[in-house]
Amino acid sequence: MQAPQQNHTTASAAQPTEPPRRSMKLAWRLFMAACAATLLLDFTQLRYGERIVESWWGFYGIFAFCACVGVAMAALLLRRLLLRPQDYYERGQDD
Partner 1 sequence: MTDFMAILVGIPCWAWFLTASMAATVASGATRAMLLLGAPILGLLSVLATPFGNYLPFELYGLNLYAYRLDELSYPFLLAFNMAALIGGLYALRIEDKLQSAGALLYAASTMAVAGAGDLLSLIVAWEIMGISSAALIFARREAAATAAGLRYLMFQLGSGFLLICGAVGVVQLTGDARFDYIGINHSSGMLIFLAFGIKCGFPFLHNWISDGYPAATTSGIVFLSAFTTKAAIYAMTRAFPGTESLLYIGLAMAVLPMFYAIVEDDLRKVLAYSIISQMGFMLCGVATGLALGVNGAVAHAMNDIFFKGLLFMAIGVALQATGSSCRSGLGGLYRAMPITTTLCIIAAASISAVPFFSGYVSKTLIMDAVLQNGNVWVWYGLLLAAAGAPLYVGIKVPYFAFFAKPAKPTQAGGDPPWPLLAAMTLAATLCLLAGFLPQQLYALLPYSMEYDPYSGSHLLAQVQLLMFSALAFIWLQQRGLYPHSKAATMMDSDWFYRRLAPHLALSLAAGYNKMQNHIINLGGTTANKLRQLAPPHWLLPHWRPTGNNRAVALAVALLLLTALYLLPR
* Residue 4 to residue 12: CA distance in whole angstroms: 12
* Among candidate residues 60, 17, 24, the one with its CA nearest the CA of residue 41: 60
Q: Which is nearer to partner 1, 14 or 46 (CB)?
A: 46
Residues between 31 and 60 that touch partner 1 (CB under 8 A): 31-32, 34-35, 38-39, 41-42, 46-48, 50-52, 54, 58, 60
CB of 4 to partner 1, least distance (A): 32
> Taking the complex as a whole, how short is the minimal distance between the CB of residue 9 and partner 1, in angstroms?
22
Residues composing the chain:
95
Taking the C-alpha atoms of residue 63 and residue 57, their distance in angstroms, rounded to an integer, is 11
Distances in Å between the alpha carbon of 74 and those of 8, 27, 59, 64, 77? 51, 29, 22, 15, 5
Q: How many residues bind partner 1 (CB under 8 A)?
A: 45
Give the HSE-up count for residue 51: Cα atoms under 13 Å, Cβ half-sphere: 8
Minimal distance in Å, beta carbon 13 to partner 1?
A: 18
Name the residues that contact partner 1, by CB under 8 A. 28, 31-32, 34-35, 38-39, 41-42, 46-48, 50-52, 54, 58, 60-65, 67-69, 71-76, 78-79, 82-89, 92-93, 95
